[in-house]
Amino acid sequence: MLELKISGLSKTYANGVRALDDVSLTIPTGMFGLLGPNGAGKSTLMRTIATLQEADAGSISFAGIDVLKQKDDVRKILGYLPQEFGVYPRISAETLLEHFAVLKGIYKSKERREIVGALLRRTNLHDVRKQGLGTFSGGMRQRFGIAQALLGNPKLIIVDEPTAGLDPGERVRFHNLLSEIGENVVVILSTHIVEDVSDLCSNMAIISGGRVLMQGEPLEAIRNLEGKVWRRVIAKGELETFQQEHAVISTKLVAGRTVIHVFSETQPDPSFEAVSTSLEDVYFSTLRNVAAEEKAA
């Protein structure tokens, strides 16, 4: 079983922002969701694992490789889909993928053609392989990004904020593609979208402010919260009062009405109804607990 082990990783940028604060995570084989709000430190962590930037302290190991030191060894087994995937608009998908394959060390042209063809088919881009990447939709570009990340059979795949900007149909296709990647590799999916994690990931962590707030299995985290989340429709002006009296974990507009979710061991009062807990409740209650602790400290 492959496992990525991160211990005590810290990073402070030159401007004083502490993007990673003593991060320790054990990431098993399969799909792992790294969930956190914008600015949480996800990209910093992803880029550090992908050997694109240095940490100040800590260590990362994977399959016997010291990730922070043996960068060339990491790059051989790594597939990386960055947040911003810059493409050359006039180059065809096939030509660019061929080019990336050469960079990955796939030098034999017959073998390369076969691998590139198979990846284009797998990502459903074979019919459009001669088209310039500039003509691709966001979803097609993301699928191309996955094709390039899968070159060379990586054992560690990092996907940074993949579904931002995809329409719902494209998102589903992208999810299906990701979930087919195979069970024998480590896939880290960094995202601020809770559904990406609840749909795809068997393990997860929540990070915020550079710190790990929670790690474990989504289903177990949901189970632990079951029976403790309550919902109520409130009037527009009532939010502040409810926030003072209850542990409000989220506020949502549903069909023009404000719906709040509240954390409570027991039913706060008969005006609240029980909800079937979701990962969104886990996420928002985790973020809220930390905010409340920080306020108290």
CB of 45 to ligand ADP, least distance (A): 7
Contact 43/13 with Cβ under 8 angstroms? Answer: no
Binding of residue 205 to ligand ADP (CB under 6 A):
no
Number of residues that bind ligand ADP (CB under 6 A): 12
Binding of residue 42 to ligand ADP (CB under 6 A):
yes
Structure tokens at 134: 């500039």
Exposed, middle or buried: residue 95 (CB in 10 Å: 0-12, 13-18, 19+)? Answer: middle
Binding of residue 157 to ligand ADP (CB under 6 A):
no
Expressed in percent and rounded to 5, the helix, strand and coil fractions of the chain are 40, 30, 35
Binding of residue 206 to ligand ADP (CB under 6 A):
no
CB of 9 to ligand ADP, least distance (A): 12
Q: Is the CB of 13 or the CB of 88 nearer to ligand ADP? A: 13
Binding of residue 43 to ligand ADP (CB under 6 A):
yes
Binding of residue 191 to ligand ADP (CB under 6 A):
no
Binding of residue 266 to ligand ADP (CB under 6 A):
no
The conformation of residue 134, written as its DSSP 8-state character, comes to: G
CB of 243 to ligand ADP, least distance (A): 26
Closest CA to 195 of 163, 231, 169: 163
Closest CA to 161 of 182, 138, 184: 138
Binding of residue 38 to ligand ADP (CB under 6 A):
yes
Structure tokens at 190: 């960094």
Residue 257 is inside which H or E element, if any?
A: strand 257-263
The conformation of residue 132, written as its DSSP 8-state character, comes to: B
Binding of residue 209 to ligand ADP (CB under 6 A):
no
Piece in contact with ligand ADP (CB under 6 A), picked from 38-46, 112-120, 211-219, 233-241: 38-46
Q: Is the CB of 14 or the CB of 253 nearer to ligand ADP? A: 14
Among residues 30, 36, 82, 154, which is the contact residue for ligand ADP, using CB under 6 A? 36
| Interstrand relation of 211-216 and 186-191 (parallel, antiparallel or unpaired) | unpaired
- Binding residues vs ligand ADP (CB under 6 A): 13, 15, 17, 19, 36, 38-44
